[in-house]
Amino acid sequence: MAKRIIPLVPKQIDNAKPKDSTYTLFDGSGLYLEIAPTGSKLWRMKAKLNGKAMRLSFGKYPDISLAQARKKRDEARKLIAEGIDPREEKESTYRGRKGQNGTYL
């Protein structure tokens, strides 16, 4: 039986201190916060598309809040359900913003 994951609350995230090695705090549905020894906190998601495992990055905490990370997770899960790789979707969005002189708008 799968282990039940209790969703994170902002206080848990704020209280998470760096350790000697990288560790994670899980929120559920693949979303987790990776805490590095330097103290940086990065939102990530584990998922599978067509049987292949992938890891997505959503940004650093507190730049990306818990609510924003959950929204990004839900959007990624919708794309995966449609058979679309969220990493490629994100990349094509960036390519679409590129101006004529090769700089991003």
Question: Considering the domain boundaries, does residue 4 fall inside one?
Answer: no
> pLDDT tens for residues 30-84?
999 999 999 999 999 999 999 999 999 999 999 999 999 999 999 999 999 999 9
Question: Considering the domain boundaries, does residue 43 fall inside one?
Answer: yes
Comparison of pLDDT for 99 and 11, the residue scoring more: 11
Distance CA 97, CA 92 (A): 9
Question: Considering the domain boundaries, does residue 103 fall inside one?
Answer: no
Band the pLDDT of 5: cuts 50, 70, 90: confident
Question: Considering the domain boundaries, does residue 105 fall inside one?
Answer: no
CA geometry: angle 7, 83, 60, nearest 5 deg: 40
Full domain range(s) for residue 63? 10-97
Question: Considering the domain boundaries, does residue 45 fall inside one?
Answer: yes
The conformation of residue 30, written as its DSSP 8-state character, comes to T
